[in-house]
Amino acid sequence: MNKRSTTIYWTGFSVILALLIVAPLVLSEFWSRFLTEILIWGLLAMSSDILIGYTGMVSFGHSAFFGLGMYGAAAALLMVRPPNLWLAIVYGLIGSAGIALFVAYFSTRLRDIYFAITTLIFSQIFYVIIFTWTDLTGGENGLTFSRPALGIPGLFSVPFSSETLHWFVLAVVTASYLILRRITQSPFGMVLQSIRENEGRTRAIGYAVERYKIVAVMLSGLFAGLAGVLYAIQNRFAAPDFVYFLVSGETVIFNVMGGIGTLVGPIVGAAFFLLLRETFSRFFTEFYLIPVGAIFIAMVIFMPQGLLGFMRRWLNQ
Amino acid sequence: MAPVLRTEGLTVRFGGLTALDSVDFEIRRGEIRAIIGPNGAGKSTFFNCLTGVLRPTAGRILFNGENIAGLPSNLISQKGIARSYQITNILPNATTLENVRIAAQSRRHSWSMLRHHSAYLDIIEKAEAVLEAVGLRAKADELAANLSHGEQRNLEIGIALATEPELLCLDEPTAGMSAAETHDTMELVRRIAKDLTILIVEHDMQVVMALAQRITVLHYGDVLAEGTPAEIQRNPRVLEVYLKT
């Protein structure tokens, strides 16, 4: 990146960040909450982009990582007294990383559609386990818990308001974005992109491709789990619906709509999709999926690079 | 001097077809060796065995005295055998420099995650030195897909070189090149041969005769003859099966 585009990038970044910081003070309670939720789904989408966009592996199992993050947070919030925010994050990350390692170990031996199907099947296995193991997970009803306070033990502790929750989520998502962006630009990130471009050649120049894929899936799962933790804290419940493959499918749709391989694109895609759903479900009630589906198909045909790719080309003209 | 690479009874069978039939082969350090033979003689199969693409049915491949037969290609690369491909096999959507840099990076820093790749100056220096060596310095920021065919072939060699090999296997490096490009590539191979051992499969007899110190002729998976270019050109069996046709 040259100096000028670096300046433009950081200016844009600061402006958007500033808008997102101010947003809860300006928006109504409903839209403010909606924006927080967009950020959380955006983080999930972004985590999946590491695989789809950068390594060339389409995961249909991100609901499992998201869900394990949720249930991990639930475990911490229900078992440890008083409920601790940071412990919820740690439990969620351990849960999702553990599952990600398990899934990665088996699924990275396969490629393309076989990888996608394997991740899908694994996530459905976890769904069934969570759905049926009622004693531990609450089964169909899931688990409810109270929201932990925002604070640092021994220093301060304040209950979350909707503004502070938004800012907390924004801070976590922004930090995750910066970390993921740095990873994609690091030597390790270069290897992932090389695997995407030409797996055989990447192996031939000395890379143990499978190991890089396992680490990529784990990283991706870790950030998906973080999104799950945030969602659990926002909504004060963990439910099996969020481990169901529909969530994985939506994650892929966010990526395709926004533009894969860009990290920002998936967040844009999540925002766009959720806004569409919100708008259409007001007019079409439960039939909202019909117009949303039609728009998605049109987008895939007319802007295969997603919203971000489309905007980029439009700006360059 | 001990051979850098030796195969003992190297055999590859595909079902009923024997592609390599108990090949015993040796190459000294610093040598430029050509492997020639008609189509289907087993040249590519031989390369594929050396570089871990194929697992031999039987036999041993000793590289610096260590048996590497059946190891995956990434481990063989790490041990010091590199390869350029007959069909250009690069990262088309990356720049020339990026293609070489990713190869150079396979020896160091490849797991680093938290610093920007441009902060690793040793990798960039290595990559630039390789581009200099293969004559692509001026095209460093060009997309690999936009290079001419001849340039892409040399980039192939550059990628292989960037992994700092001891033994470099070149699979038809001058295929499809113009006379001028062929000449340049031969010069390039001579230059890099000063520091490493080169094994070359080539159809262009002028290239083979001019470059190779010794030639091995494969025929139906067997070593038919081996010797200096002059000996090979006079060998009646070689003339019969190969050079005449």
In this predicted model, what pLDDT tens digit does every residue of B216-230 receive, in sequence order?
Answer: 998 888 888 889 988
Q: What angle do CA A72, A107, A258 make, to 5 degrees?
A: 75
**Is B116 close to A197, i.e. CB distance below 8 A?**
no
Distance from the Cα of B93 to chain A's closest Cα (Å) equals 8
What is the pTM for the complete model shown? 0.90
Cα nearest neighbour of B48 on chain A: A204
**Is A190 close to B98, i.e. CB distance below 8 A?**
yes
Helix (H) or strand (E) holding B158: helix B149-162
Where residue B120 falls (left for φ over 0; alpha for ψ -120 to 50; beta otherwise) is: beta
Within 8 A of A203 by CB-CB distance, chain B residues are: 72-74, 77
> Which residue in the set B83, B102, B115 is minimally distant from A186, CB to CB?
B115
**Is A204 close to B110, i.e. CB distance below 8 A?**
no
Closest CA to A129 of A243, A218, A226, A251: A243
**Is residue B243's pLDDT more than 70?**
no
pLDDT tens across B150-163, in order? 899 899 999 999 99
- Amino acid symbol at A206: G
- For residue A273, how many other CB atoms are within 10 A of its CB? 22
Specify whether the CB–CB gap between A251 and A45 falls below 8 A. yes
CATH of segment(s) B1-80+167-181+193-245: 3.40.50.300
Rounded CA gap, A27 and A163, in Å? Answer: 10
Within 8 A of B74 by CB-CB distance, chain A residues are: 203-209
Cα nearest neighbour of A179 on chain B: B114
Helix A112-132 with A85-107: angle, nearest 10 deg: 130
Within 8 A of A205 by CB-CB distance, chain B residues are: 74, 77, 82, 102-103, 106, 159-160, 162-163
- For residue B23, how many other CB atoms are within 10 A of its CB? 23
pLDDT tens across A65-92, in order? 999 999 999 999 998 888 889 999 999 9
Within 8 A of B117 by CB-CB distance, chain A residues are: 185-187, 189-190
Strand, helix or coil at B142?
coil
Q: What angle do CA A191, A193, A199 make, to 5 degrees?
A: 80
> Which residue in the set B77, B109, B116 is minimally distant from A206, CB to CB?
B77
pLDDT, residue B177, reads 86
Using H for helix, E for strand and C for coil, what is the string for chain A?
CCHHHHHHHHHHHHHHHHHHHHHHHHCCHHHHHHHHHHHHHHHHHHHHHHHHHHHCCCCCCHHHHHHHHHHHHHHHHHHCCCCEHHHHHHHHHHHHHHHHHHHHHHHCCCCHHHHHHHHHHHHHHHHHHHHHCHHHHCHHHCEECCCCEEEECCCEEECCCHHHHHHHHHHHHHHHHHHHHHHHHCHHHHHHHHHHHCHHHHHHCCCCHHHHHHHHHHHHHHHHHHHHHHHHHHHCEECHHHHCHHHHHHHHHHHHHHCCCCCHHHHHHHHHHHHHHHHHHHHHHHHCHHHHHHHHHHHHHHCCCHHHHHHHHHHHC
pLDDT, residue A317, reads 60
pLDDT, residue A159, reads 86
Q: pLDDT category, A265, cuts 50, 70, 90? A: very high
CB pairs below 8 Å between A and B: how many? 91
**Is residue B74's pLDDT more than 60?**
yes
Residues of A with CB under 8 A from a CB of B: 182-183, 185-191, 193-194, 197-198, 200-209
Rounded CA gap, B7 and B4, in Å? Answer: 10
Strand, helix or coil at B216?
strand
Within 8 A of B115 by CB-CB distance, chain A residues are: 182, 186-187
**Is B90 close to A194, i.e. CB distance below 8 A?**
no
**Is B107 close to A206, i.e. CB distance below 8 A?**
yes
More confident residue, A111 or B143: B143
Distance from the Cα of A307 to chain B's closest Cα (Å) equals 21
Domain spans of chain B, in order of start: 1-80+167-181+193-245, 90-164
**What percent of chain B shows pLDDT beyond 70?**
98
pLDDT, residue A97, reads 93
Mean pLDDT confidence for A168-189 = 95
